[in-house]
Amino acid sequence: MYIIREAVIADTETIRRIAHETWWPTYGPILSPEQITYMLGLLYSSEKIHQQIDHNEQTFLLLTENDEPVAFAAYSPRDEDPEIYKLHKLYCLPKTQGKGFGKILIETVADKVRLAGKSTLDLNVNRFNKARSFYEKMGFEVVYEEDIPIGPYWMNDFVMRKQLV
């Protein structure tokens, strides 16, 4: 039994915990420990998540299974083109992977984007992240490559897009 709800500021530490428990097994094989530590500190600080929720910069959805928060997604209109929405974050605790929660969260975000009257959803995925195949199964296609500087490091990503019908 699972429930999805919009996260509030009080969920900040829960989001941080899920991110920390997920990033190490996900990115450990493809990024240095120093880069993971740096990016977690930058992207998942309490202040950063609090600001994103409080200022409606991103909408966070929290999925709970049997009252335990186990996954989250975050999305918003793209800054450069508000006709396109971006799935910024999608993380499921490793112990829950394979249960379909990632798919459920993507479908929920897609429904919200459609309700907003839009039909395009983008995401970034590291070019070496095995999640790319999952996103392809969900109907996303690579549209271009993007290298984004993050402090002294780089995010080497594919931008993937799904047309929502």
> 62-85 pLDDT, tens per residue?
999 999 999 999 999 998 999 999
Note down the domain range covering 136: 2-163
Contact 127, 157 (CB under 8 A): yes
Provide the domain count of the chain. 1
Nearest to 58 by CA among 12, 117, 4, 107: 12
**Would you say the pTM of this structure is higher than 0.75?**
yes
How distant, in Å, are the alpha carbons of 43, 51, 108 from that of 135?
22, 28, 15
Average pLDDT over residues 112-118: 97
CATH number at residue 153: 3.40.630.30
Reported as a pLDDT band with limits 50, 70 and 90, residue 165 is: confident
Please write the tens of the pLDDT for every residue from 4-60: 999 999 999 999 999 999 999 999 999 999 999 999 999 999 999 999 999 999 999
How distant, in Å, are the alpha carbons of 39, 49, 92 from that of 98?
26, 26, 9
Name residue 13's amino acid.
E
Contact 157, 147 (CB under 8 A): yes
For the chain, what is the mean pLDDT?
A: 97
